[in-house]
Amino acid sequence: MGKYRTPKASLDISRRIFLHRSAVMLGGVLLAGPALAAKLGCRPTASDILGPFYRFGAPFRARLAGPDELGDRLVLTGTVFGSDCRTPLPGALIEVWQANHAGLYDTNKPGNFTEVTSFHLRGMLYTNEKGQYEVETIMPGRYPVPPNLPGLEKYAGLTRPAHIHMRVMESLHIPLTMQLYFKGDPFIANDPWAGKKPSLAIDLKQDGKLRRGVFDVVLARGL
């Protein structure tokens, strides 16, 4: 940091300046080509780790939490787009998993992705014909990083911000794994994952007894 600037950092800055000048230079063209304008500001959604509590094979359902589930009700909606940030992707497969209101997952066996028990607060769903999804659930609780996780030993005991895990797959795009956080969570800043991914934090709105969040996803093209 400080005054020292790595060659890569210089390159990044040069690239940004170049892109900025390109946008200015292409101003007249941009007015005639909104698709190009969109493309210049368009980025694939940031990716994040899968985490130790992923489990393969959750049932198909968009309602993760039944009426008796403790916690504040949350409805998460959004659209999955292709790499141009404009083309909706119907039929994208979304996997969602999260902790309960007390910060507990339905398993306490980290890394056992194929463990077969009943799935709780997990589900899979497809985006509709407009590329949209809607998940009904509860606000997840925070939890500490478990001890003795290979590679994560130094983070043991660190309280993670509340988050929902999501993984999106579509046949012509690169699968994307995310952790979705919530703006204003004081545990985001010191979290080794959330702290570096501000674009994955959702702004929640209160709607009667519901909290609502919108999160659109942009997948990177695989070709």
The binding site for Fe ion (CB under 5 A) comprises 51
Amino acid letter, residue 182: F
Q: CB-wise, 51 or 110, nearer to Fe ion?
A: 51
Cβ–Cβ under 8 Å, residues 47 and 177: yes
Smallest separation, CB 200 to Fe ion (Å): 13
Smallest separation, CB 156 to Fe ion (Å): 15
Smallest separation, CB 163 to Fe ion (Å): 6
Q: Which residues of 148-179 are buried (b: 16+ CB within 10 A; e: fewer)?
A: eeeebeebeeeebbbbbbbbbbbeebeebbbb
Q: CB-wise, 20 or 109, nearer to Fe ion?
A: 109
Q: CB-wise, 112 or 132, nearer to Fe ion?
A: 112
CA–CA separation, 146 and 23 (whole Å)? 47
Cβ–Cβ under 8 Å, residues 187 and 159: yes
Q: CB-wise, 106 or 170, nearer to Fe ion?
A: 106
Smallest separation, CB 161 to Fe ion (Å): 10
Measured between alpha carbons, how far apart are the two ends of the chain, in Å? 36
